[in-house]
A and B are shown apart, each in its own frame.
Chain A
């Protein structure tokens, strides 16, 4: 009886967790470079149950739990912005960003040329070149080729650093904002086309999110009803079982 009660509650808790994550994905539907976070629900552990005559009957599930979060590194759509320091990566790889806590990786290419000419993120961190150094740009028009080569008036200035990981899902963890950190060095190979004047939009899909929202609402409701049922049963057991005549 009590087992069923907690199993039903676990259904509510896991769906509350999903609701929080969905709200976060919804808030970031239009955030450039955002990668949606996915979780699903799986069986919690099982336990053996015995009959009153102490005979083994079978296994009983003890409820549900959320699986570990998975970041979906799928490509987001590119949107033209007309801004020369808006960059998008088409394909694999991440921009390399220098922060006080160490090197970080991002797909958010909203960059700026600061007053000293350094290429920075909107938060003010330096964008790194292929040698891991900050990039200093001259005044005027800057051109960035699909291969990441930066030129100004035909003169070569440097090359954007793109980090490839063999298994981004395993190697990258969220660090802060839209930046990912990695315990291991970039070790992968891949192809990346840098698109200047474009941003990569969020890869969260509103239609999919809507379906997930409905699923969460109904599962939560069902779990809540099950808790009530368990409670009713328990109440009946206490009040009527063992009463004489």
Chain B
């Protein structure tokens, strides 16, 4: 076993750094306890061991939890929640398509549907004017109510799903991007095989499980303390070795 106290020191240093990354992830989950359509993430750490040298842990990846958030009722007909698999497609400022579960939409002055992060919904259709009331069916058919009280079809909303949604890339603002791990987006109407349904007057709440995150936070804190303790001890031992010679 090729070993030195400096290696022990390095293991603990990396350990502390990794715990801080984990703390960031937990902190972000807890901060988004009440964010519409938010999906909790998890950092996956793994034992670092190469050529029989044990070196603590390494961060492999982070994965999002695709568990359904609970759906709560709202007053707004443009609050759309997805029950089941799938994401709304939104247009990002740079023109790429992002994917989100946040379906709290509003109509902007030009009659476009925009979600709470300010991104335009990508859908197949157009509104006759900005002053219409809209309803969407659970299968994604959007109808506008004219002033005469008549309902006309104005388009359809398609959802995007992924072979491995846990591998989506979190872009911030509650938006995900497709990645190599997630696979390409497959589009389909809500209710088709594999796709969830849209419900109006509904908001999908964050899927963060507070009890789980708090427990994780507590064990994390203790593990961090232990890492600090090991670090200090290795340091003391190095000091003892250096100061061994006297006079």
Q: Which residues of A contact B (CB under 8 A)?
A: 12, 15-17, 19-24, 26-31, 34, 37, 66, 69, 81-83, 85, 108, 110, 112-117, 122-123, 139-140, 174, 176-178, 206, 209-210, 213, 216-217, 220-221, 224, 227-228, 231
Contact = CB atoms under 8 A, between A and B. Distances in A.
B54 A21 contact: yes
Interface bin, chain B: 35 or more
Contacts of A17: 1, 3
B194 A24 contact: no
Given A27-B18, A85-B166, A115-B183, 8 more contacts: A23-B12, A23-B15, A108-B46, A113-B163, A115-B163, A177-B49, A227-B244, A228-B244
Contacts of A29: 219, 223, 226
A166 B184 CA distance: 44
29 contacts: A12-B241, A16-B4, A16-B237, A17-B1, A17-B3, A19-B233, A20-B4, A20-B7, A22-B8, A23-B12, A24-B56, A26-B15, A26-B230, A27-B227, A69-B1, A83-B42, A85-B166, A112-B63, A113-B164, A115-B183, A115-B184, A117-B163, A140-B194, A174-B52, A176-B50, A178-B49, A206-B223, A224-B241, A227-B244
Interface of B: 1, 3-5, 7-8, 11-12, 14-15, 18, 42, 44-50, 52, 54-57, 60-61, 63, 65, 67, 85, 162-164, 166-167, 180-184, 194, 209, 212, 219-220, 222-223, 226-227, 229-231, 233-234, 236-237, 240-241, 244-246
A217 B229 CA distance: 11
Contacts of B14: 27
User: Main SS of chain B's interface residues?
Assistant: mixed
Contacts, number: 152
Given A23-B12, A224-B244, A30 B3 contact: no
Nearest to A214: B233
A213 B106 CA distance: 59
B230 A28 contact: no
A82 B8 CA distance: 35
Contacts of B237: 15-16, 19, 217, 220
Contact of A82 (B5, B44, B52, B67): B67
B167 A112 contact: yes
